[in-house]
């Protein structure tokens, strides 16, 4: 196993962990079925890309069509990507989270994911359409030569720092009184309302926080792979992350991290080892998707709480009684 493969795997794992922590806050803890998760990641990635790329007229970039091109140094594009994810969550949340029933929310978000992809694919002057953005500058590439092993290790290091920051934030939210309110709302919204909680405000907040983290995950990914196109954020990508959360265990960060390592990283890497020459072309990727579907259905049937079930939080000082 060479360095490049190892570092690539680690960066992907980091991105998937960040993404799963975000989705776990929104879906696992708060019960919002964000089927357009990948759109938030994509917005972060596109924003980070155009913030770090030089203006379109620059030689070497003049064959791509994109807006912006601000040529900003490293941390700014990532921060920008995270902010863009949060900003997108505001109008989407405004439409989806106020009045709609939970299953309506899910279909609205699913449809949005498909449509957003269609729009970006067809609007070829906006973010270079179906071809997508290429030659996105790597962060810190001025200071460190990106073609060295040292740079790959550096990138892994930055990714680990991002994962750590996100994990601390997610942990603080999950274990705070606010996290408790979110879980109460997820379990029974009416009961949460009756003790004075405002579910719409709580959902909006967690949706925006989730959007920020998702945007960051996109920024980290695009900085590493240097390209971003509509074909990498089709709606089934969201389903992989849902599979991860369901397999790992909804509502707890350990489960989200475990799910990220088991499903997007482990599962996809293992199936990559199967030679692609078996059967007609495209058979293995297609069967991979089938397996993801089976994984979701199997876990929902046999072990709906996932590998690491959310711990039941019981107040020690309360009257002793069996909690059903």
For another protein, which residue of 45, 48, 292, 308 counts as binding (CB under 8 A)? Answer: 292
110 near another protein, rule: CB under 8 A: yes
In the bound state with another protein, the residue whose beta carbon lies nearer, of 15 and 92, is: 92
In 3D, which of 96, 105, 113, 110 has the Cα closest to residue 43?
Answer: 113
Which residues have a Cβ under 8 Å from the Cβ of 269 and sit 6 or more positions away? 9
In the bound state with another protein, the residue whose beta carbon lies nearer, of 18 and 296, is: 296
List binders of another protein among 294-313 (CB under 8 A). 294, 296-297, 300-301, 304
Stretch that binds another protein, among 58-66, 74-82, 251-259, 274-282 (CB under 8 A): 274-282
184 near another protein, rule: CB under 8 A: no
C-alpha angle 98-100-104 in degrees, rounded to nearest 5:
140
Give the nearest distance from C-beta 7 to another protein in angstroms: 30
111 near another protein, rule: CB under 8 A: yes
Q: Go through 32-64 and write b for each residue having 16 or more CB atoms within 10 A of its CB, e for each that does not.
A: bbbbbbbbbbbbbbbbbbbbbbeebeeeebeeb
Give the nearest distance from C-beta 53 to another protein in angstroms: 26
Give the nearest distance from C-beta 29 to another protein in angstroms: 13
The contact mask relative to another protein for 21-60 (x = CB under 8 A, - = no) is ----------x-x-x-------------------------
C-alpha 42/C-alpha 211 separation (Å) is 11
* Helix, strand, coil percentages for the chain (3-state, nearest 5): 65, 0, 30
Give the nearest distance from C-beta 227 to another protein in angstroms: 22
Torsional sign, CA 267, 254, 245, 132: negative
119 near another protein, rule: CB under 8 A: yes
Whole-number CA gyration radius for the chain? 20
In the structure encoding, which two tokens stand for residue 59, read together?
Answer: 């030689």
For another protein, which residue of 112, 213, 220, 241 counts as binding (CB under 8 A)? Answer: 112
Give the nearest distance from C-beta 170 to another protein in angstroms: 21
# binding residues, another protein (CB under 8 A): 45
289 near another protein, rule: CB under 8 A: yes
Torsional sign, CA 119, 120, 125, 131: negative
C-alpha angle 82-71-16 in degrees, rounded to nearest 5:
35
In the bound state with another protein, the residue whose beta carbon lies nearer, of 1 and 278, is: 278
For another protein, which residue of 72, 76, 100, 169 counts as binding (CB under 8 A)? Answer: 100
Q: What is the DSSP-derived secondary structure letter of residue 280?
A: S
Give the nearest distance from C-beta 94 to another protein in angstroms: 8
Give the nearest distance from C-beta 119 to another protein in angstroms: 6
List binders of another protein among 214-273 (CB under 8 A). 235-236, 239, 242-243, 246
φ, ψ of residue 229 to 5 degrees: the values are: -140, 160
In 3D, which of 220, 214, 308 has the Cα closest to residue 262?
Answer: 308
């Amino acid at each position: 196993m060479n360095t490049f493969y190892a570092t690539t795997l680690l960066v992907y794992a980091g991105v998937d962990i960040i993404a799963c922590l975000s989705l776990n806050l929104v879906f696992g803890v708060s019960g919002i079925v964000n089927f357009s998760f990948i759109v938030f990641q994509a917005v972060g990635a596109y924003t980070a890309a155009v913030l770090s790329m030089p203006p379109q007229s620059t030689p070497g970039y003049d064959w791509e069509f994109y807006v912006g091109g601000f040529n900003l140094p490293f941390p700014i594009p990532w921060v920008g990507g995270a902010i863009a994810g949060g900003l997108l969550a505001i109008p989407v949340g405004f439409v989806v989270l106020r009045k709609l029933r939970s299953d309506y929310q899910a279909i609205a978000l699913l449809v949005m994911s498909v449509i957003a992809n269609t729009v970006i694919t067809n609007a070829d002057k906006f973010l270079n359409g179906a071809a997508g953005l290429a030659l996105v500058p790597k962060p810190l590439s001025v200071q460190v030569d990106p073609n060295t092993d040292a740079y790959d290790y550096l990138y892994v290091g930055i990714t680990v720092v991002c994962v750590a920051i996100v994990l601390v934030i997610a942990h603080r939210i999950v274990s705070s009184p606010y996290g408790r309110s979110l879980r109460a709302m997820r379990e029974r919204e009416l009961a949460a309302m009756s003790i004075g909680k405002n579910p719409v405000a709580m959902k909006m907040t967690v949706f925006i926080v989730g959007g920020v983290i998702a945007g960051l995950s996109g920024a980290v990914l695009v900085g590493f792979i240097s390209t971003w196109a509509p074909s990498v954020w089709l709606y089934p990508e969201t389903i992989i992350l849902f599979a991860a959360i369901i397999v790992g265990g909804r509502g707890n960060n350990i489960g989200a991290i475990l799910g990220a390592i088991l499903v997007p990283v482990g599962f996809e890497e293992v199936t990559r080892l199967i030679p692609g020459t078996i059967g007609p072309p495209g058979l293995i990727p297609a069967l991979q998707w089938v397996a993801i579907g089976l994984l979701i259905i199997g876990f929902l049937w046999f072990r709906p709480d996932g590998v690491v079930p959310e711990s039941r939080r019981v107040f020690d000082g309360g009257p002793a009684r069996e909690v059903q």
